[in-house]
Amino acid sequence: MTSADASNGRLPAAFLQAGSASFTEFVGAHAPHLIPGSRAVPGGVPIDAPHGTTILAIQYTGGVLLAGDRRATMGNLIANHTMQKVFTTDEYSAAGIAGTAGIAIELVRLFQVELEHYEKIEGTLLSLEGKANRLASMIRGNLGMAMQGLSAVPLFAGYDLAGDRGRIFSYDVTGGCYEETDHHSVGSGSLFARGALKKLWRSGLTRDEAIRVAVEALYDAADDDSATGGPDLGRRIWPTVALLDAEGARFVSAEQLEQVVTGVVQQRREEADPR
């Protein structure tokens, strides 16, 4: 803001000019230091920052869910036991974060504002493919940070109003966007989660069945990946699960997750010791 603008209390001229419906483009033009990928990182200096781990998405009849564990790691240490890794990004979509936690969360928060800004300017929701492509361009803008080890690779899912179905989109650090079918997983425990999903997923899953499959896949991932946190019955820490369908985006309640987790744990105990 210029001194003249500050003295008369008016907004800077940039705020009064017609432009695109992209909030990210506006910020990049007038305050680029606020964009996560535009910040300089000292070369040759190792940065220890918390990392998010396993995120998965599952298509079910009429929608899609996005789920994640709650653990964040920093090297061989557990940085956080209750980290939120799944965020609703608008009324019909959500994103789960993997990679450098601080960068990824800031990226998703900016994406939330991007979608809200578009809706206010255009008076309509951006299409699901449009949302996925917008997120891809924002990830591409973080490539410089990713090359220095501070990568952020979210998993995006949403309900397609035009197609009346749930859809899943994955990314790479260069901003490549890929639509996935049936299910997908990213993060350090994704290899084990995908193995479980391949065995447990089937066409025609109901919403409740998909929640159970998500919990089982995260349980398996935590069993083999130290960076993935399993359900903690003692401290009542459950995975985060978001549902995306014609009813909109919302989170599964802690009470329902506790019932599902308790059932999964009980079944595993019985399988391990059938006596």
pLDDT of residue 4: 47
Contact call for residues 59 and 182 (beta carbons, < 8 A): yes
pLDDT of residue 255: 96
Q: Show the tokens assigned to 247.
A: 């009813």
Q: Is 2 considered catalytic here?
A: no
Q: What is the pLDDT along the chain (275 residues), one digit of tens a residue?
A: 444 455 566 666 655 555 566 666 556 555 665 555 555 555 555 555 666 689 999 999 999 999 999 998 888 888 889 999 999 999 999 999 988 888 888 889 999 999 998 888 888 889 999 999 999 998 888 777 667 667 788 999 999 999 999 999 999 988 899 999 999 999 999 999 999 999 999 999 999 999 999 999 999 999 999 889 988 888 999 999 999 999 999 999 999 999 999 999 999 888 887 66
d(CA 183, CA 154): 15
Q: Show the tokens assigned to 141.
A: 């803008």
Between helix 101-122 and helix 23-30 the angle, nearest 10°, is 110
As a residue count, the chain comes to 275
Contact call for residues 28 and 20 (beta carbons, < 8 A): no
Q: Which residue has the tokens 């809706």?
A: 119
Catalytic choice (2, 24, 53, 73): 53
For residue 171, CA distances in Å to 45, 97, 98 come to: 27, 11, 11
